[in-house]
Amino acid sequence: MILRKSRFKRFKGWLLSFIIIDVITLLTRFVESLFSKDKKMLTLFFTEFNYADNTRYLLEYLISIPTEDFKVRILVKNDKLFEQILKLHPNITFYTNSIVGFKLFFRTKNIIISHGSDTSYFFPYFLDVKSKNIINLWHGIPLKRLSLQVKEIRQSKSRNRFQKFTSICASSTFEQFLLASCFDMHIDNVWITGTPRNDYLLHPNTELLSTHSYLENNVILYAPTWREYGERSSFFPFKDKDLTELNNFLITQDAYLLIRGHREEMERITGNYGQKSTYSRILPAHQEIFPDAQKLLAHVDVLVTDYSSIYLDFLLLDKPMIFIPYDLEEYQSYRGFLFEYNSHTPGPKISTQKEFIQNIELSLNNPSLYSVERLRVKNLFHTFQNGNSSKRILAKINELNS
């Protein structure tokens, strides 16, 4: 009886979803048909809270090489971010909830995004591949299952709830197949270009050193993944946890351990570490301090994580990494991976603070450890290792318009 009710509820949800989205699709296509599309207009749609990630780096590339091929425009969803970007690029930045933003959106033929696998994510707009070229730069090589590959998500949404893309960018043939399976795309529409944010990682500047001088010391970044299901991320999940001992060890190594969690965890991290903390070498590094992870990553000597795909970008720097997969079985049960975890994570797997300290010391004093394993995994995930991703993406967009 309970099973029948559950099936009816799911069917009812799917039915309503189909009706609502089908109506929105028809209305959108009607409104889109009222506007002539400008193929030379390239609009970068910022949907997140920070001026960061692939959309930012592609924009900066486009600004640095003025071209007659495209008229670059910026559309921003978050009001605070809009004010920030407007100061940087006043003549080409528009707010989504405005008449000029509305006109820009519907006149745009080529729109660039880096997030969003659900059609409702872009509200008040609806992105339709029948009306626009929707190019998704995405925001990281997938380690965890995404979209259609996550059982709970697949079962809770009707098929047309999933956002469709004209193209999505990948860093290798291996990733090309992973993304195609997650987003139900034809393999030819997954472009192997590399990602713009890694162009910066390979050719960084030193601007952060003026405001965060400790980055000139040995830097260990601790960045676990966000757990949208189950328990929150557990920092230092060790039975022998002793942060005073760890802090004293970091002093002997002239090192700082930076803690970076998800946006939802900023308050917890700030409350436990930082100015009010007695641990002078364990500092918060959340989004309000370092809005752009890539700029911070360029100064990191050792990366510590569990299942975050940040390590796949970090491979390009050939520096040590340490893994703390303390809840591996539980995490696999509700989210899962797109490939075998242990064979694709080139670094020690630790479970105690003693091991943590030992491996940090080894990593700082002998960074060539695991270099062979890192090279193997880097070559699997990165076809291009010299930058120029933005240039390749722009060439592919030009092909769409030809």
Contact indicator for 235, 265 with CB cutoff of 8 Å: no
Is 19 exposed, middle or buried (CB count within 10 Å of its CB: 0-12, 13-18, 19+)? exposed
Closest CA to 336 of 223, 259, 225: 225
List pLDDT tens digits, range 67-81.
778 999 999 999 999
Three-state SS at 233: coil
List pLDDT tens digits, range 214-235.
999 999 999 998 776 556 677 8
CATH topology of domain 2-201+387-401: Rossmann fold (3.40.50)
**Domain spans in the chain, listed from the N-terminal domain onward:** 2-201+387-401, 205-381
Residue 11 has pLDDT above 90, yes or no: no
Residue 55 has pLDDT above 80, yes or no: yes
Question: At residue 142, what is the residue type?
Answer: P
Quickly state the pLDDT bin for 396 (edges 50, 70, 90).
very high
Quickly state the pLDDT bin for 62 (edges 50, 70, 90).
very high
Please tell me the distance from the alpha carbon of residue 364 to that of residue 300, in angstroms, as a whole number: 11
Q: How far from 220 is each of 77, 213, 260, 311, 346, CA to CA, in Å?
A: 34, 14, 11, 13, 17
Closest CA to 305 of 377, 221, 378, 393: 221
| Rounded (10°) CA dihedral 330, 221, 256, 239 | 10
Residue 269 has pLDDT above 60, yes or no: no
Token pair 């970068």 is found at 44
**Whole-prediction pTM:** 0.89
Closest CA to 112 of 152, 82, 76: 76
Residue 311 has pLDDT above 90, yes or no: yes
Fold matches, 2-201+387-401 and 205-381? yes
CATH topology of domain 205-381: Rossmann fold (3.40.50)
Q: How far apart are the first and last CA of the chain?
A: 58
Task: Mark out the alpha helices in 141-208 (DSSP H runs).
Answer: 151-156, 173-183, 196-202
